[in-house]
Structure 1
Amino acid sequence: MSYQALYRVWRPQQFKDIAGQEAVTRTLRNALSHGNTSHAYLFSGPRGTGKTSAAKIFAKAMNCKNPKDGEPCNECNLCQSITQGKLGDVIEIDAASNNGVEEIRDIREKANYAPTEAEYKVYIIDEVHMLSMGAFNALLKTLEEPPMNVVFILATTEPHKIPLTIISRTQRFDFRRISAQDIIKRMTYILNEKNIEFDPDALMSIAKAAEGGMRDALSILDQVISFSDGAVTLDDTLRITGSVTQELMIDYISAALNHNTEKGLELLHQMMQEGKDANRLVGDVILFSRDILIYQKTKDENLLKMSKVDDRFNTLIAEAQPEKIYDIIEIMNQTQQEMRISTHAEVYLEVATVRLAQVKPEIATDSAPTTTRDTDESQELRTLKNRLNQMQKVIEQMQQNGVNNEATKTPKRKPARKNAGQTVFKVNRHQVFGILEHATRNDLAKLKDLWPDLINALSTSQKAIMNTSKPVAASPNGLVVTFDYDILCERAANDTILIDAVGDYLEKVIGHRADMATVPSNQWLEVRQAFIDQMKNDGQEETDNQEKEQAPKETEEVDAVVSEAVNLFGKENVTITD
C-alpha cells in the first residue's frame, strides 16, 4: 500500500480524538445521546481544526448500530463504510468546485429519496461559503423544510460570507485554534505509537509554526520525519519551518536593547543566510517580544507562545525595559506591513534592525522621563510637549524674578525665549503684506467658520501643530494665521505637507486654494502696523509724484502767459507776482 500522510492516517475517528474542541464535541455527544439532533449544522473555524473530521464522526454516530455516550463504535459495517467513504447515504461535496445552482438543485432532488442503508442521509458540504448566491437561494428552502431523515452539515473557514438566512436555519459551532499544548499532546501520542524518538523542543517549534492548525502541525511533522531519517530534532525542525532558535533571538533582542547596530545586522545576515523566512522572522520577533512583556508581568510560563524559560531568558527579562519592548513590537509590526507590498524583504529588515538599535528607551525632561516611540506622529507630539513645558517654566521664572506685565510685553522677552532653547521666528513680511493688500472681512469670516472643521480633518501630528492657530486675515488666494508659540509657527511654515493639506481642504470646501502665511501672535500687531505704515508711505509717495509731475506743467503755463503779456503791453509795463 502506498504511503499516506500523517494527517490522513491519524484523522480522528471519535469525538474524544479531536484536540482542543471540548466545548463542541461535548455538545454534539450530548445531543446524540439524548436524541436532540438538528436537521442542519454549521461548523466554522480556521483550517485544520477538525471541522470535516467532526462532521464525519457525527454522521457515523447518527447511523452507528452500537453507539456509546454519543460516540460511534467504529466496528460495525456502517461505521467502517463511512470511514472508508463508501456509504452512499453520507455524501461529501466540495462547494469550491460544485458551487452552481444546478448542483444544489440536484442535491435538493436527491434529498427527497429515503436513505438506502443507513438511518439518516447526511450531506457534508465543505467550504460552503464558495456557493453562488443562486445556489444559496436554492439550498434555502431545503434547509427551512428538510425531508425526513436528512441532515445537512455545512463547513466553512469564512462564515461571514454566508447569508444570514442560511446561518439562522442552522446550529452554529465555532471551532477555535488549537493550543500549542494540545497539538504537542497529539503529536507525542502519534510519535509514541510509531516508536519515533523526538525532542520536546522540536514539537514546541512545530506547534508554534502550525499556528493553531492540527493538520498543518502533522504535515510539518511528516516533513521533519522524512528529513531527519526517522528522528525529530530541534535543528531539523528549525530548518523545515524557517524559525529561529531562542539563543539567536535573545542575541538579536539584546543587540537592540544595547544599541549595538553592528551586532544586530550581523545576526540578521546570519539568519538570512541560513535560509530563514523573512516574514516568519518578523513574526517570531513580535511573538518573542510579546512573551517578554507577558512573563515580566505574570511569571506564568504557560502563557508563553514563543519562548521557554531558562537562565538567558531570565537575564533578558531583567534587563529589558517594557518601553523599549513596545518600540520593538511597533517597529516590527510596521516592517511587516511594508514587506507585504515589497519584494525586498531583507532591505526592510535591515532598516528595522538599524532603527531598533538607535531608538533610546527614555528621554529625560524637567518633569518626568518620557518614552520615545519611533513614529513620526508620537515623536513630534513629545517634542512639542517638552518644548512647551520648557517655555512655561521660563515664564514662571520670569514672574518670580519680578518681571511685570509691561516688561513681558516688550521685545525684552526675546532673550528669555532664546535661553529656553527657542529661536525668534522671522516673519515673511513680503508674503503677509501681499495677502493683506487684498484681504477682505468676508473672506476672513468664511475662514473662521470652517477653521475648526479644517483642523479636525488634519492628521494627528498636523493637528498638534495647528491646535493653537487662529486666522487673522484672508484674501481670495491667501490667509494669515497666528500661533501662540514661535516653534509651532516655524514648524507650520516649514511643513509643506501641512500647507498642502490646508490648501487641499480649502479647495474642496470653498472652491479655491489659498496660500498660508504664519505669524507668531506676539508679532502680529507689529506686522499689521508695519503694513499700515507702508500703505500710508506708498500713498504719500504717490501724491508727491503726482505734484512733481504737475509742477513743470504749471511753470510752463505761467511762462507762456508772461511772454504773451510782454508782447502785448511791453516789458516795462508788466509786473509779475506769485
Structure 2
Amino acid sequence: MAYQALYRVWRSQRFDEIVGQQAITQTLKNAIVQQQISHAYLFTGPRGTGKTSAAKIFAKAINCPHSVDGEPCNECDMCLSITKGSQEDVIEIDAASNNGVEEIRFIRDRANYAPTQAKYKVYIIDEVHMLSTGAFNALLKTLEEPKKNVIFILATTEPHKIPATIISRTQRFDFKRILPQDIVQHLEEILQEMNLSYEEDALAVIARAAEGGMRDALSILDQAIAFSDGTITTQDAFDVTGSLTSELMDRLLLACLTHDATGALEQLDGLLESGKEARRLIENLLFYCRDVLVQQQAPALLTKENKRLTDDFLQLAQQLPTERLYEWITILNTTQNDIRLTTSPTVYLEVAMVKLAAEGSTITVQSSPQAPEVAGELTQQVQSLQKEVNELRQQLRQVNQQAPDRKSVNAVRPSHSKYRVPRERVNQVLKAATKQRMQQLQTVWEDVLDSMTPTQKAMLKASELKAASEEGLVIAFDYEIICQRATTDQEFSLALHNHISRFVSDYAPSPVFITKEDWPNLRKDFLAGNHENDTLEEEPEAVGEVELLSTQDDQLVAKAQELFGELTTIEKN
C-alpha cells in the first residue's frame, strides 16, 4: 500500500478526536441528539484547525443509523462510504477550482432531488470565499429557500470575503487556533501509538512552529520522523522547522544587550548561512522576547508551560530593563511586517540587529549627565514644530473659508493634471438615474465599505454617492488626487463593482468618479441640456449650491426629484 501522510492517517473520525474545539464539537453533538439540525452551517478559522474534518463527521453523524450521543459509529456502510468519499449523497466541493455560477446552479438543481441512500443530502463547500459574485448570488437563492433534508456546510479561512447576506443565513462556528500544549499532547499520543521515541522539547518546538494548526504540526512531525535516526531529538525539530535553539537566541540577544552590534551581526550572518529562514528567525526572536517579559512579570506561567529556561535566559531576564524590552518587541514586530513585503529580508534583519544593539533613547537620556540639557533642546524643537503646524493649519482654514469662483479654482489646479472630467459618462448615468437605486445603495453602503480593503475603504470615506442608474453609479470625491487615483485603479473599480453586486441582488453598476467641486456644474449642465433637447420644458434657476426649480413645470420637478432625490430643493417664486 502506498505511503500516506500522517495528517491523512490520523484525521479525526469522531467529534471527540477533534483537538482544541470542544465547545464547537459539543454544540454540534447536542444539535444532533436534540434533532435541531439547521439547513446551513459556516465553519471559519485558520488552516488545519478541523473545519473540514468536523463537516465530514457531522455528515456521518446525522446519517448514521447507529449514532450514539451525536457520534457516528464509523462501522456501518453509511459511515464507511462517507469516510472513503464514495457516498453520493455527501458531496465535497473545492470552491477554489469550482467557483463559477454554473457549478453552483448545478448544485442547486441537484438539491431539488431527495437523497437516494442517506437521510440527509450534505454539500460541503471548502474555501467558500473563493466563489465568484454570481456564484454567491446563486447560492443565496438556495439558502433563502432551503429544501427538505438538504444541508450546506461552508468552510473558509477568510470569512470577511463572504457576503453578509450569506453569513446571516447560516449557523456560524469559529474554529480557534489550537494551543501548543494540546498539539504536544496529540503528537505524544500518535508517537506512542507508532512506538517511536522522542524528546518532549522536540514536540514543543514542532507545536510552536505549527502556529495553531494541527495539520501543519503533523506535516512537520512527518518530516522530523524521516529526518531523525530512530529518536526525534530537539535538534532534529530545530533543523526541520528552521527555528533557533534557546542557546543561539541567548547568545544573539545577550550581544544586543551589551551593545555588541558587530557580534550580533556576525551571529546573524552565521545563522543565515546555515539555512535559517528570515521570517522564522524574526518569529523566534519575538517569542523569545515574549518569554523574557513573562519571566519578568509572571514567572509561574513559564513553569506551567514547561519552558526550558537556560542560565543565559535567566540572566537576560534579570538584566534587561522592561522599557528596553518593549522597544525590542516593537522593532522586531515592525521588521516582521517589513519582511513580508520585501525581496531582501536580510537587509531588514541586519538593520533590526543594529537597532536592538543600539542604546535605547530612554536609557541614554537617563544615564547621561547632560540629560536635562538634551531634554530642553528637544522641548524647544517640539515647540517650534508645533508653532509651524499651527500656522499651516490657520492658513489652510483661511483658504477653506474663501469661496473662489470656478475660474479661480481652475487657475489653482496645476496645468499638468491628468484628470479629465468624464462628462459623457456622468450624463449617461443621469439620463437613466432612479431614486430607488440610490436608496438601495445608501442602505448597503456601510456594508460595502466594510468589505473593501483598508486603503480602498479610506478612499471611499472621502466620497459621496451622487446618482445611480441600472448600469452606472456616480461617486464624488473630496479631493482631485483621490479621484485621479480611483479613476486609474482598475482593481479598485472592480472591487467596488463586485461588492455592490453582493449586497444588492442583480445589480452591478460601473462606477464613474468625479470631484465634489465638479458635481454642481455637471448637474446644472445636464438639466440645461435636457431643456435644450426638449426633454424638459423649463430651465431651472441656479441659486447657491442647489438648483431651485419652478413648481409651475411639473415635468421638470418630477425629473429632478427622480434624479437627485433629497438633494433637490424646490422653491416657489
> Shorter chain as normaliser: what TM range?
0.5 to 0.7
SS at match of 1:300: helix
Q: Map 1:464-475 to 2 at 5 A.
A: none
Displacement of 1:370: 8.8
Q: Which moved more, 1:286-295 or 1:334-343?
A: 334-343
Once residues 342 and 448 of structure 1 are traced to their aligned partners in structure 2, the CA distance between those partners, rounded to angstroms, is 36
Paired residues of 2:20 and 2:178 also in contact (CA < 8 A):
yes
Amino acid at match of 1:156: T
Identify the match of residue 387 of structure 1 among 372, 377, 401: 377
Structure 1 stretches lacking a partner, 5+ long: 372-380, 392-421, 426-445, 455-475, 477-507, 509-578
Once residues 363 and 130 of structure 2 are traced to their aligned partners in structure 1, the CA distance between those partners, rounded to angstroms, is 54
Q: Map 1:91-106 to 2 at 5 A.
A: 91-106=91-106
Paired residues of 1:111 and 1:147 also in contact (CA < 8 A):
yes
Q: Which moved more, 1:155-164 or 1:257-266?
A: 257-266
Report which of the two structures shows the higher radius of gyration computed on alpha carbons. Answer: 1
SS at match of 1:52: helix
Q: Map 1:352-367 to 2 at 5 A.
A: 352-360=352-360, 362-363=362-363
Q: Map 1:344-493 to 2 at 5 A.
A: 344-360=344-360, 362-363=362-363, 369=366, 385-387=375-377, 449-450=394-395
Partner of 1:175: 175
Q: Compute the TM-score of the two structures, normalised by the length of structure 1.
A: 0.64
Q: Map 1:215-254 to 2 at 5 A.
A: 215-254=215-254
Describe the superposition over 1:386-441 as per-residue Cα deviations: whole angstroms up to 9, x where unpaired.
4367x8xxxxxxxxxxxxxxxxxxxxxxxxxxxxxx9xx9xxxxxxxxxxxxxxxx
Amino acid at match of 2:207: A
Q: Looking at both structures, which has the greater relative contact order when contacts are Cα pairs under 8 Å and sequence separation is at least 6?
A: 2
Partner of 1:276: 276
Residues 1:450 and 1:217: Cα distance change in structure 2 (over 3 Å):
same
Once residues 163 and 177 of structure 2 are traced to their aligned partners in structure 1, the CA distance between those partners, rounded to angstroms, is 24
SS at match of 1:115: coil
Paired residues of 1:6 and 1:219 also in contact (CA < 8 A):
yes
Q: Map 1:200-211 to 2 at 5 A.
A: 200-211=200-211
Once residues 169 and 83 of structure 2 are traced to their aligned partners in structure 1, the CA distance between those partners, rounded to angstroms, is 28
Residues 1:141 and 1:451: Cα distance change in structure 2 (over 3 Å):
closer
Describe the superposition over 1:217-238 as per-residue Cα deviations: whole angstroms up to 9, x where unpaired.
1001001111114431111111
Partner of 2:540: none
Once residues 453 and 58 of structure 1 are traced to their aligned partners in structure 2, the CA distance between those partners, rounded to angstroms, is 66
Displacement of 1:283: 1.4
Paired residues of 1:46 and 1:176 also in contact (CA < 8 A):
yes
Partner of 1:69: 69
SS at match of 1:173: strand
SS at match of 1:54: helix
Paired residues of 2:64 and 2:73 also in contact (CA < 8 A):
yes
Partner of 1:553: none
Residues 1:57 and 1:86: Cα distance change in structure 2 (over 3 Å):
same
SS at match of 1:4: coil
Partner of 2:163: 163
Displacement of 1:249: 0.4
Q: Compute the TM-score of the two structures, normalised by the length of structure 2.
A: 0.64
Residues 1:272 and 1:448: Cα distance change in structure 2 (over 3 Å):
closer
Paired residues of 2:260 and 2:357 also in contact (CA < 8 A):
yes
SS at match of 2:140: helix
Partner of 1:561: none
Displacement of 1:350: 2.1
Describe the superposition over 1:201-222 as per-residue Cα deviations: whole angstroms up to 9, x where unpaired.
1111111111011000100100
1:294 aligns with 2:294: yes
Q: Percent identity?
A: 56
Partner of 1:521: none
Once residues 398 and 317 of structure 2 are traced to their aligned partners in structure 1, the CA distance between those partners, rounded to angstroms, is 47
Displacement of 1:345: 2.1
Residues 1:109 and 1:251: Cα distance change in structure 2 (over 3 Å):
same
Residues 1:146 and 1:449: Cα distance change in structure 2 (over 3 Å):
same
Once residues 447 and 268 of structure 1 are traced to their aligned partners in structure 2, the CA distance between those partners, rounded to angstroms, is 46
Paired residues of 1:256 and 1:264 also in contact (CA < 8 A):
yes
Paired residues of 2:96 and 2:131 also in contact (CA < 8 A):
yes
Paired residues of 2:29 and 2:70 also in contact (CA < 8 A):
yes
Paired residues of 1:288 and 1:306 also in contact (CA < 8 A):
no
Describe the superposition over 1:267-308 as per-residue Cα deviations: whole angstroms up to 9, x where unpaired.
212211221111110111112112211221112335998953
Partner of 1:399: none
Paired residues of 2:95 and 2:128 also in contact (CA < 8 A):
yes
Partner of 1:313: 313
SS at match of 2:87: coil
SS at match of 2:93: strand
Displacement of 1:448: 7.7
Partner of 1:260: 260
SS at match of 1:138: helix
Partner of 1:13: 13
Structure 2 stretches lacking a partner, 5+ long: 385-390, 400-411, 413-480, 482-573
Partner of 2:529: none
Partner of 2:443: none
Describe the superposition over 1:446-495 as per-residue Cα deviations: whole angstroms up to 9, x where unpaired.
978436799xxxxxxxxxxxxxxxxxxxxx9xxxxxxxxxxxxxxxxxxx
Residues 1:382 and 1:103: Cα distance change in structure 2 (over 3 Å):
farther
Residues 1:363 and 1:204: Cα distance change in structure 2 (over 3 Å):
closer
Paired residues of 2:294 and 2:302 also in contact (CA < 8 A):
no
Residues 1:388 and 1:283: Cα distance change in structure 2 (over 3 Å):
closer
Residues 1:72 and 1:127: Cα distance change in structure 2 (over 3 Å):
same
Once residues 65 and 25 of structure 1 are traced to their aligned partners in structure 2, the CA distance between those partners, rounded to angstroms, is 20
Residues 1:51 and 1:448: Cα distance change in structure 2 (over 3 Å):
closer
Residues 1:261 and 1:12: Cα distance change in structure 2 (over 3 Å):
same
Paired residues of 1:257 and 1:324 also in contact (CA < 8 A):
no
